[in-house]
């Protein structure tokens, strides 16, 4: 039995195809991104080694810092939005009839591609024919905002569809975690006279702390690499007001053919995500850390 189940040839045969794929298509590219970042390269011609020049330029590049700042803002928005999702999930999980139906309905936007969502919300935000401004006009707001062409508003306008898109995703995660809490705990607290609010705050939340931590990491990482929706909705505009790190990288490489500099941005993004993940996990580390991702 043991001999058959530890047959090296078969183990290799079963693992190598997939392993090879992630090595060639994920891990080697990661290393190469760092390497290309040291080059002056237009993607087709010869590469010239320029050392850390790209990274030095990066530090002095105000457009880059602007896009990094926007990514950070999206991350903060996203983490804050988790509070809303969590509140909804606590309500949903408290033996409400039809909870199952509600959480499924909330999930529907998550099924759509970001491109479709972007195209739909471009029209929702349309200054004169969009639902948003026609609604605002109908309730007597005479000068409704221009949303996507307002440099001060655009990032907020982009965040609304993000909030809409991911609601169901996080609600489902929280709901599942909350439903896993043994009922006796809440029963005992209720007998001791705890209010629903106290039960939620003092029993439910601490018990799902691990899951909350996972969602914080997911929300931050997701925001740092946010791309599709912004690329389609505003292409980073107007005037760079909604540019984020991923869209900046994409433009550098595939529009300006500056593959070396683009790689430097890509590598920065990777390192940033690794560091952020590490720190969030460290900061929120708990002893009973059974949840992984």
Partner 1 sequence: MAQSTTAEAERELLPAEGKLIDKFFKSILYVILAIIAVVQILPLVWLVLFSLKDNQEVFNLPPFALPQSPNWDNYLRVWTDGNIGLYFFNSIIVTGASVILTILLASLVTFAITRMQWKLNKFVLALFMIGLMIPVHSTLIPLFSFYLNIGLMNTHAAIILTYTAFNMPLTIMILLGFYYTIPRELEEAAIVDGCSIHRMFFQIILPLTAPVVATTAIINMIYNWNEFVFVNTFISSDSLKTLTVGIQNFIGQYATDWGAIGATLVISVLPLIIAFVFLSNRIVEGITAGSVKG
Question: Total binding residues for partner 1 by CB under 8 A?
Answer: 93
Residue 75 makes contact with partner 1 by CB under 8 A? no
Residue 68 makes contact with partner 1 by CB under 8 A? no
Binding mask 14-33 for partner 1 (x = CB under 8 A): xx-xxx-xx-xxxxxxx-xx
Binders in 186-245 for partner 1, by CB under 8 A: 211, 214-215, 218, 221, 224-225, 227-228, 231-232, 245
Residue among 58, 86, 88, 220 that touches partner 1 (CB under 8 A): 88
Residue 182 makes contact with partner 1 by CB under 8 A? no
Residue 105 makes contact with partner 1 by CB under 8 A? yes
Binding span for partner 1 by CB under 8 A among 61-69, 151-159, 184-192, 251-259: 251-259
For the chain, list the strands marked E by DSSP. Answer: 39-40, 48-49
Residue among 46, 60, 83, 111 that touches partner 1 (CB under 8 A): 111
Judged by beta carbon, residue 147 or residue 250, the one nearer partner 1 is 250
Residue 270 makes contact with partner 1 by CB under 8 A? yes
Q: Are strands 48-49 and 39-40 parallel, antiparallel or unpaired?
A: antiparallel
Judged by beta carbon, residue 131 or residue 188, the one nearer partner 1 is 131
Judged by beta carbon, residue 158 or residue 177, the one nearer partner 1 is 177
Judged by beta carbon, residue 190 or residue 202, the one nearer partner 1 is 190
Binders in 118-157 for partner 1, by CB under 8 A: 119-121, 123-124, 129, 131, 134-135
Residue among 10, 52, 76, 185 that touches partner 1 (CB under 8 A): 10
What b/e string do you get for 233-268 counting C-beta neighbours within 10 Å, with b at 16 or more?
A: bbebeeebbbbbbbbbbbbbbeeeebbbbbbbbbbb
Place of tokens 């040839």: 9
């Amino acid at each position: 039995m043991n001999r058959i189940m530890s047959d090296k040839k078969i183990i290799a045969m079963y693992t190598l195809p997939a392993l090879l794929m992630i090595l060639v298509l994920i891990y080697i590219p990661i290393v190469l991104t760092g390497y290309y970042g040291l080059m002056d390269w237009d993607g087709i011609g010869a590469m010239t080694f320029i050392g850390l020049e790209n990274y030095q330029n990066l530090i002095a590049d105000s457009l880059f810092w602007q896009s990094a700042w926007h990514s950070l803002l999206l991350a903060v928005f996203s983490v804050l939005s988790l509070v809303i999702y969590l509140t909804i999930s606590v309500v949903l999980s408290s033996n409400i009839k039809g909870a199952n139906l509600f959480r499924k309905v909330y999930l529907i936007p998550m099924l759509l591609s970001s491109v479709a969502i972007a195209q739909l919300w471009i029209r929702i935000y349309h200054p004169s024919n969009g639902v948003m401004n026609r609604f605002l006009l109908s309730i007597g707001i005479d000068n409704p905002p221009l949303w996507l062409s307002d440099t001060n508003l655009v990032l907020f306008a982009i965040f609304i569809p993000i909030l809409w898109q991911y609601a169901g995703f996080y609600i489902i995660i929280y709901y599942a975690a909350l439903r896993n809490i043994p009922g006796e705990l809440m029963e005992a607290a209720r007998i001791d006279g705890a209010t629903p609010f106290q039960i939620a705050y003092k029993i439910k939340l601490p018990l799902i702390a691990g899951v909350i931590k996972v969602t914080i990491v997911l929300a931050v990482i997701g925001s740092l690499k946010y791309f599709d929706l912004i690329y389609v909705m505003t292409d980073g505009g107007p005037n760079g007001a909604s540019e984020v790190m991923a869209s900046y990288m994409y433009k550098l490489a595939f529009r300006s053919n500056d593959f070396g500099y683009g790689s430097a941005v890509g590598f920065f993004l990777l390192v940033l995500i690794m560091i952020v993940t590490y720190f969030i996990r460290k900061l929120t580390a708990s002893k009973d850390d059974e949840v992984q991702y």
